[in-house]
Structure 1
Amino acid sequence: MILIAGIPDEPPVALAIAAAEESGAAHVVFDQRDHLSAGLKLRLDAAAGWQGTLSTAAGVIDLQAIDGVYVRLMDERYLPDVVDLPSNAPERLRTARFHSLLHDWLNSAPVRIASRPRAMLSNMSKTYQAGIIHRCGFDIPETLVTNDPDAVLDFVDRLAAEGDDVVYKSVSGTRSIVQTFRAADRARLSHIRWCPTQFQRKVRGTDVRVHVVGARVFATRIESEATDYRYSARQSGSDAKLTSIDLEPGLQKACVALSAALDLPFTGIDLRLTPEGDAICFEANPCPAYSYYQSRTGAPIAAALIDWLAAGGALTRTKAGLAPNGMDRLPAVSQPSA
């Protein structure tokens, strides 16, 4: 049984649900909008591992029957029915506790999960993630993270002398629009004193988004005149052109290895292939909005995700009958319901 957790009419979640229905894979959906009426009970037993139920408007889900989970939950602090409430409002406190318990289970349940919340945290610091990317053998752009305007000007002027532009974006996991540094930006540089920002050498070449699902790879070439092709119409006046491509085997293996190193079995890796044939990696998205790419290329990403989750099943216990994840010496612990 597959659990799909998120907002059902959000495109990536909707595609996953449709793929599960089309394949006939047994699945249940947790609509995150029902969080205030949902109930979660967990018990960690030394012999049996995680036991518990997730109660929703659609019924009660036995968590021991779940073999795989697709996780695309929005930040619970911004759910429409609590976002405007005071921080100490009972509804806010309840939803925080509910999601904390749900994350506890997602982070340790012995089933296939795309992807565990703790693994997604690597993208909260792009510099931290870049270190992992580099250790996995990928080149990364020359990067400056700073809140010092003078350091930025030195960086921009040096790269300009070498014939290259500079782009800038958020250093955190918060979504931002990648922009090319222009003359007008010099007058605004004082703003970064309160917000350290990431500046990078602008790499020449072709953008490629790689979706890794387990050991499968789906690559998309993007042709656009924009700095950030996601906003191509806004930045360049024309939409980006997306085409499915096959990566050479070595690069495919490198992308799968990077996903494994990040513990992200479902990830979106942003590359730029240079005219010299090098692959520069910008980042790995832990919860990719793959629907944008699938809808334009027809790549069966959602079907591959459902196949990967369905093929998992609960992890096999040791012959000694120990609990999964090495929990054999832990006493039985009960978590309060939410």
Structure 2
Amino acid sequence: MSILLWGLIRDQPMSAVLTHLRRLDAPVHFLDQRQVLETTVEVDGGRTSRTVVTVAGETFDLGRVHAAYLRPHDSTQLPGLRARAHSSPEWRHAAEVDQVLNAWSDRTAAYVLNRPEAAAGNASKPFQLRAIAGAGFFVPPTLVTNDPDQVAEFIRMHGDVIVKSVSGVRSRVRRVRSTDKLADVAACPTQFQRRVPGTDVRVHVVGVEVFAAEVDSDADDYRYARALGHRDPVLTAIDLPPEVSVRCLDLARRLGLPVAGIDLRRTPDGEWYCFEVNPSPGFTYYESKTGQPIAAAVGGRGGESGPPPPGSPAHRMEAGF
């Protein structure tokens, strides 16, 4: 049995987990997307379904996989492919490899971090907000619309308002300014929220482990602090109140995400708001600032990645109990 990693070696979280597993001499097989044009995937749909991957002449049976960590990019957008016509054999081949591997990832009995069907919920922030509220977190008043009049009324009602993407596409969170052209929202549904004052806390859930980092920054979006002319954020590892840790674990379970990056904010009154959940978090930034062993948790302590033992808390989480 082995551990499958699928993605790009230059992707820092993928590289960190692969390095951890190799250091432990774990049975890991890295499926490098850079070799997508040298990759074929054959599915035997007989009595016992079998999926075999061949890369540059080397064959690997996915039936041997007992655990998988996935951070695939769109192979058709890799250098040398994104400029090709969609009708080209190379473009179609890359798209088909992605499609078959994603389908395998959703149906395999292996322990997958994370399944594509679970990660798909990130495409709708309103869908996520329902799960967030269900887990017991506060959610700021939110408006998703392409009606400029509704936006103007929302701003009159709440005053200090931020704007962000409504989808899973990365966007820069910022406050609505008086110079903004509200009519522009007619071209695309956009998400607006009342701004919540407080301190950002990024939480990474890995199975039943919780890693929290407090972020000291005066920027509206600390990810872009330097680009916006603010000082660099200062990150500190913290212990969450037990009830907040439980909510984070419950939220990840509700969304079917063994690995999740959860964005929280603690208000001056001690209330905990949650804004969104990243199903494929770039945890290495936080790990490098806090020293938290997130890659080791994803890779498995001692290289023992895979389904938790039956009856354990982690098993109950994976099973959705």
Query: TM-score, length-normalised on structure 1?
Result: 0.87
Is 1:182 aligned with 2:181? Answer: no
Pick from 275, 294, 298: which aligns with 1:301?
A: 294
Deviation at 1:39, TM superposition (A): 1.2
Deviates more, 1:229-238 or 1:256-265: 229-238
Instruction: Work out the percentage of aligned pairs sharing the same amino acid.
Output: 39
Q: Give deviations 1:117-138, integer Å, cap 9, x for gaps.
A: 1111101000111111112221
Q: Which amino acid aligns with 2:121?
A: S
Change (3 A) 1:171 1:230: same
Which residue of structure 2 lines up, in the alignment, with residue 201 of structure 1? 194
Distance across 2 between alignment mates of 1:24 and 1:203? 46
For structure 2, list consecutive stretches of 5 or more residues without a partner in the other structure.
Answer: 311-318
Q: Which amino acid aligns with 1:252?
A: S
Q: Is the 8 A contact 2:3 2:305 kept in 1?
A: no
Pick from 238, 251, 254: which aligns with 1:245?
A: 238
SS in 2 for 1:67: strand
Alignment of 1:41-52 (within 5 A): 41-46=42-47, 48=48, 50-52=49-51
Q: Is the 8 A contact 1:6 1:31 kept in 2?
A: yes
Distance across 2 between alignment mates of 1:314 and 1:152? 47
Deviation at 1:212, TM superposition (A): 0.4
Q: Is the 8 A contact 1:217 1:252 kept in 2?
A: yes
Q: Give deviations 1:247-269, integer Å, cap 9, x for gaps.
A: 11111111111111101100100
Q: Which amino acid aligns with 2:147?
A: D
Work out which structure has the larger RCO, using CA pairs closer than 8 Å and 6 or more positions apart in sequence: 1
Q: Is the 8 A contact 1:111 1:314 kept in 2?
A: no
Deviation at 1:298, TM superposition (A): 1.1
SS in 2 for 1:145: strand
Query: TM-score, length-normalised on structure 2?
Result: 0.92
Alignment of 1:106-125 (within 5 A): 106-125=105-124
Q: Is the 8 A contact 1:68 1:310 kept in 2?
A: no
Distance across 1 between alignment mates of 2:215 and 2:307? 36
Distance across 1 between alignment mates of 2:45 and 2:212? 40
Distance across 1 between alignment mates of 2:87 and 2:146? 34
Which residue of structure 1 lines up, in the alignment, with residue 140 of structure 2? 141
Pick from 163, 166, 173: which aligns with 2:168?
A: 173
Q: Is the 8 A contact 2:74 2:98 kept in 1?
A: no
Which residue of structure 2 lines up, in the alignment, with residue 85 of structure 1? 84
Is 1:310 aligned with 2:309? Answer: no
Which residue of structure 1 lines up, in the alignment, with residue 157 of structure 2? 158
Is 1:281 aligned with 2:274? Answer: yes
Q: Is the 8 A contact 1:168 1:178 kept in 2?
A: yes
Is 1:30 aligned with 2:31? Answer: yes
Q: Give deviations 1:45-64, integer Å, cap 9, x for gaps.
A: 54x4x422211248322212
Change (3 A) 1:127 1:143: same
Change (3 A) 1:315 1:81: farther
Deviation at 1:11, TM superposition (A): 0.8
Which residue of structure 2 lines up, in the alignment, with residue 2 of structure 1? 3
Which residue of structure 2 lines up, in the alignment, with residue 290 of structure 1? 283
Deviates more, 1:128-137 or 1:265-274: 128-137
Is 1:66 aligned with 2:60? Answer: no
Q: Which amino acid aligns with 1:248?
A: P
Is 1:222 aligned with 2:223? Answer: no
SS in 2 for 1:92: helix
Deviation at 1:167, TM superposition (A): 0.5
Which residue of structure 2 lines up, in the alignment, with residue 333 of structure 1? none
Q: Is the 8 A contact 1:168 1:197 kept in 2?
A: yes
Q: Which amino acid aligns with 1:250?
A: E
Q: What do you get for the CA RMSD once the two structures are aligned?
A: 1.9
Distance across 1 between alignment mates of 2:268 and 2:68? 39
Change (3 A) 1:82 1:311: closer
Q: Give deviations 1:6-55, integer Å, cap 9, x for gaps.
A: 10121111111111122222111111111111011123454x4x422211
SS in 2 for 1:233: coil
